[in-house]
Amino acid sequence: MTAVPETDEVLARTVTQLSSATSLERVTEIVASAVRSLTGAQGATFVLREDGHCFYADENAIEPLWKGKRFPLETCVSGWAMLHREAVAIPDIYVDPRVPLDAYRPTFVKSLCMAPIRASDPVGALGAYWSEQHEPTRQEVRQLQVLANSTAVALENLELRSAIERRIDERDDLAQRTRELEAAIQTLVHDLRSPLGAMMGYAELIAEEDLDEGKRRAFARTLVDAGQRMGDQIERMLALYRVTNRDLEPDEVDLSALAREVGGGLVAREPERVIRLRVEDGLRAVADPTLTRMVLENLVGNAVKYTGRVDEAVIEVGRSESGPDLTTFFVRDNGAGFDPAETDRLFRPMARLHAESEFPGTGLGLASVARIVERHGGSVSGQGQRDAGATIFFSLPKR
């Protein structure tokens, strides 16, 4: 059997290569090679799920397998792994009813292991194949699943990159703002998510092995928990990206009622504080209700956050001016404010005007507000003074 390099070396090299992969072909090439390196198998396949079929997109093997062929999900082991959302190890293909023997007899394969890519909602599978009867160990199965998790990250990065490119090509208006927001999200997700799968998987390997050092096990479990929190945060940011790029569904919106509802919920979460919420009556616009709620959640949420150090917070939502087509609204607070010299950075993605230690956040809130408002044909602006509060203006259509 081929000698197997150290797991951490293979994973580190694979993650590095996947982080720079810009095409599906490159991802499949990297992963197929890594499967053999990790398991010492004589063959590896990269399978994609396509319209109820298993498409064998790539392979790395001592003899040809099934590259370029398609089989119904229900008729092959890779399909079984995807449908059941779990890895499968088969020491002897000739005694397992899940194996389609007619497809395997012409090949060198005697034993195999298959792991789904993205177990929660499989988009494909990775297969390792041995030319002699071999019972895949628990560690080999786990390593294959870790690699499958890292592959899911790479595929999601490709999907995100493709979506961004399509959006930029399709939209000429708001092009600069779109590029700034999407480039920031792409960079953030790519930088965090590329190593995430390997980090979590390798930590799980450490945690599950019978190690004498209790502290190492506890540390490994901490890494897993931290990785899960990172994943949850990334999913929230991706969800925000998807929502702000969906088709608009304009309707009449009662901003006064919406601001009271949103603000009331935010204030209720901090019962120990004194927060005065003042909302002008009769604020109305014609906009997408879901996205308008996001605007107010971000703006009023910022007002609540940045007034956290004053004895009595005052937050106002009102109308600034009304033109023939647009109405300009404002959200004002008496909180930390910002340096007027930094006003031009206010709505840039990832541009934070306060230190994380002072006021935590992602740096995406105001950029998202600008994106939503501009998609409706409006504009945003801000005024503020350090330690003297801030006012954010935004305009939305009247009809």
Q: SS in 3 state form for 326-389?
A: EEEEEEEECCCCCCHHHHHHCCCCCCCCCCCCCCCCCCCHHHHHHHHHHHCCCCEEEEECCCCC
- Evaluate whether residue 271 is within a structural domain: yes
Please give the distance of CA 248 from its chain centroid, rounded to a whole number. Answer: 22
- Evaluate whether residue 232 is within a structural domain: yes
The parent domain of residue 240 ranges over: 7-244
Amino acid code (one letter) for 346: L
- Domain final residue, candidates 177, 209, 244: 244
Domain shared by 195 and 283, yes or no: no
pLDDT tens digits, residue range 122-149? 889 999 999 999 999 888 888 888 888 8
Domain shared by 226 and 294, yes or no: no
pLDDT value of residue 212: 59
Domain shared by 26 and 100, yes or no: yes
Domain shared by 262 and 191, yes or no: no
**Phi/psi of residue 214, nearest 5 degrees:** -65, -35
Distance CA(373)–CA(13), nearest Å, equals 43
Domain shared by 311 and 289, yes or no: yes
Domain shared by 143 and 239, yes or no: yes
Domain shared by 240 and 269, yes or no: no
For residue 364, give the CATH number of its domain. Answer: 3.30.565.10
- Domain final residue, candidates 213, 244, 275: 244
Domain shared by 154 and 276, yes or no: no
- Evaluate whether residue 354 is within a structural domain: yes
Domain shared by 176 and 262, yes or no: no
- Structurally, how many domains does the chain consist of? 2
Using N-to-C axis directions, what is the helix angle for 196-208 and 214-244, rounded to 10°? Answer: 150
- Evaluate whether residue 2 is within a structural domain: no
- Domain final residue, candidates 244, 276, 294: 244
Contact of 300 with 352, CB cutoff 8 Å: no
- Evaluate whether residue 82 is within a structural domain: yes
pLDDT tens digits, residue range 79-103? 999 999 999 999 999 999 999 999 9
pLDDT tens for the 399 residues of the chain, in order: 444 456 667 777 787 787 777 788 888 888 888 888 888 899 999 999 988 899 999 999 999 999 999 999 999 999 999 999 999 999 999 999 999 999 999 999 999 999 999 878 888 999 999 999 999 988 888 888 888 888 888 887 777 666 656 665 555 555 665 665 565 565 566 556 555 665 666 566 666 656 556 666 665 666 666 666 666 666 656 656 666 667 888 999 999 999 999 999 988 888 888 999 999 999 999 999 989 998 999 899 889 888 888 889 999 999 988 878 899 999 999 988 887 777 776 776 555 554 444 545 555 677 778 888 988 999 999 888 888 888 999 999 987
pLDDT tens digits, residue range 145-156? 888 888 888 887
Helix H or strand E encompassing 253: strand 251-254
Contact of 61 with 46, CB cutoff 8 Å: no
For residue 135, give the CATH number of its domain. Answer: 3.30.450.40
How many CA within 13 A on the CB side of residue 232? Answer: 6
Please give the distance of CA 368 from its chain centroid, rounded to a whole number. Answer: 16
Distance CA(186)–CA(160), nearest Å, equals 7
Domain shared by 28 and 169, yes or no: yes
- Evaluate whether residue 1 is within a structural domain: no
- Evaluate whether residue 29 is within a structural domain: yes
